[in-house]
Amino acid sequence: MGKSKDTARAPQVKSVDASLSQETALKLYEYILRTYLFEENLHLLYRKGELMGGLYTGSGNEGVAVASTIMLETGDVIAPSHRDIGAHFVRGETFRGMMLQLMAKQEGGTKGKDNAAHQGSMERGILGMISHLAVMPATVIGCALAHKIRKNGKVAIGYIGEGSTSLGDFHEAMNFASVLKLPFIMIIENNQWAYSTPTTHQYACKQLSDRAIGYGVPGFTIDGTDAELVYHTVNEAVIRARSGAGPTLIEAVTMRLRGHSAADMAEYVPKELLAEWKDKLPHLLYRQKLISRGWWNEAQDKKLSEKIMKEIDEAVDYAKNSADPEPRIALEGVYAD
């Protein structure tokens, strides 16, 4: 299998460091670090056989998941993918709630009937993931249409991988949203591998944002490991959508640093490519940026990491000691009343 395309594509948006307040920057960093540490812990639990079903994490995608949602308001709706646990945390999910779901406990979001990839919450404005990933944007576009009809100033964000952009669902969703000028942002999380298929075997255009002109909407390709760049780009798109100007297409280039799932060793990915991107983990890059501004230091970082790990350990212990679902509930919620 050949290497993926050169990812050093020139972003169409430049980061503006001074436009982000210290308070927002530190909040952004904390959520990214929380996501990274939580998912790293999940891999340990998976290897111990303590999670239910498969495990899909977003190592390398944390910056996109967090920075694209942290500016959203109550009433906005997102349709995150299986690599966007960080978006769930930003929108109010807790370590405890996510662990209950991952361990298939009765208190979990789906009451032990499914794993975390399909967890959603309409109270938090999160649509549960559908395994047929390319249909997710079309689902959340329905919410965008409802926002427009109600004239409530709310927006909807859809997430999709570069592999799913090869399917017709993606094109139909973008065309529908564009024609109706819906308050919608499409975020392509281009982590360079659609399972084992590199981008060279997925599309012939230089960058996926080039397709935006065909839909008549703005399109940007950005570095998905640069949290502030993601924030600024998505925030501008959100402002545009709220104003009634319609959708924006954003391609965030990252790297999937683990396999498609925890069961996939990803031998098909060139080792030198992985080595290059391991130094670009979003929390590492952002930590250095904050330290260079004088907004953060190593002592604070150690204290925060220890606090987060304590919360994770408490969530794991709680979930382990929680009740499993009773067989009688298997048919509850399957059929409409």
Considering the domain boundaries, does residue 161 fall inside one?
yes
Could you tell me how far CA 195 lies from the centroid of its own chain?
Answer: 17
In a domain, 3, yes or no: no
Tell me the per-residue pLDDT of 31-50, one tens digit each, with 9 for 90 and over.
Answer: 999 999 999 999 999 999 99
Whole-Å CA distances, 7 to 60, 277, 279: 14, 10, 15
Residues 109-147 have pLDDT tens digits of 888 988 767 889 999 999 998 888 889 999 999 999 999
Question: pLDDT digit string (tens) for 47-92?
Answer: 999 999 889 998 889 999 999 999 999 999 999 999 999 999 999 9
Residues 191-223: pLDDT tens digits?
999 999 999 999 999 999 999 999 999 999 999
Burial class (CB in 10 A: 0-12, 13-18, 19+), 279: exposed
User: What does the angle CA 320 – CA 323 – CA 325 come to, to the nearest 5 degrees?
Assistant: 120
Specify the number of domains making up the chain. Answer: 1
Q: Would you say residue 18 has pLDDT above 60?
A: no
Neighbours of 206 (CB within 10 A): 12
Cβ burial 25-38 (10 Å sphere, 16+ → b, else e) = bbebbbbbbbbbbb
CB 215 within 8 A of CB 208: no
Structural contact between residues 65 and 227, judged by C-beta atoms closer than 8 angstroms: no
- The CB density around residue 47, as the number of other CB atoms within 10 Å, is 11
Tell me: pLDDT of 234 over 50.
yes
By residue range, what is the domain housing residue 280? 22-317
Could you tell me the CATH number of the domain that includes residue 145? 3.40.50.970
Whether 303 maps to a domain, the answer reads yes
Tens-place pLDDT, residues 293-312: 999 999 999 999 999 999 99
Q: How confident is the model at residue 317 (pLDDT cuts 50, 70, 90)?
A: very high
User: Does residue 14 carry a pLDDT above 60?
Assistant: no
Tell me what pLDDT residue 99 has. 96
The per-residue pLDDT for 222 is: 97
In a domain, 324, yes or no: no
Q: How does residue 13 score in pLDDT terms, banded at 50, 70 and 90?
A: low
Locate tokens 């640069």: which residue? 226
41 within domain boundaries? yes
Q: Is residue 122 part of a domain?
A: yes
Query: Does pLDDT of 181 surpass 50?
Result: yes
Residue 97 domain flag: yes
Domain contains 327: no
